[in-house]
Amino acid sequence: MKKILVACGAGVVTSTVAMNKLKEAFDEHHVPEDAYQIDQTSIAQVASMADNYDLVVTTTQYDGAEGTTVLNGLPFLTNIGVEPLIDKAFEVLGFQE
């Protein structure tokens, strides 16, 4: 199972939007629900949690967590550049398109 951490400023509103868009993309590409787990958090908690995840998606600026791929999830909020972001997430997670 691939673990994904989605973070925003407070860990509630924009991370929920990003999480829902990821789930929609996984559904559209027929990724089984038992193939992934998505958790939410605040950006302040990312550094202490990132090592336990295969991918981190943030909706605010974050300079990285060593050893874990961090993607900027702003396209989920603006709807500009969503497909390349989804493609990169699939690549990182090893999901087939």
pLDDT at 5: 97
How far is the CA of 29 from the CAs of 7, 22, 63, 78, in angstroms? 23, 11, 30, 22
Number of domains the chain is built from:
1
Reply yes or no on whether the pLDDT at 97 is more than 70.
no
Q: What is the CATH number of the domain that holds 45?
A: 3.40.50.2300
Residues 39-71 have pLDDT tens digits of 999 999 999 999 999 999 999 988 766 788 999
pLDDT at 18: 96
Contact, 18 vs 56, CB < 8 A? no
**Which residue range is the domain that position 89 belongs to?**
2-93
pLDDT at 67: 83
Residues 13-45 have pLDDT tens digits of 999 999 999 999 999 999 999 999 999 999 999
Share of the chain above pLDDT 70, in %: 97
Q: Quick count: other Cβ atoms within 10 Å of Cβ 32?
A: 9
Element of type H or E holding 40: strand 36-42
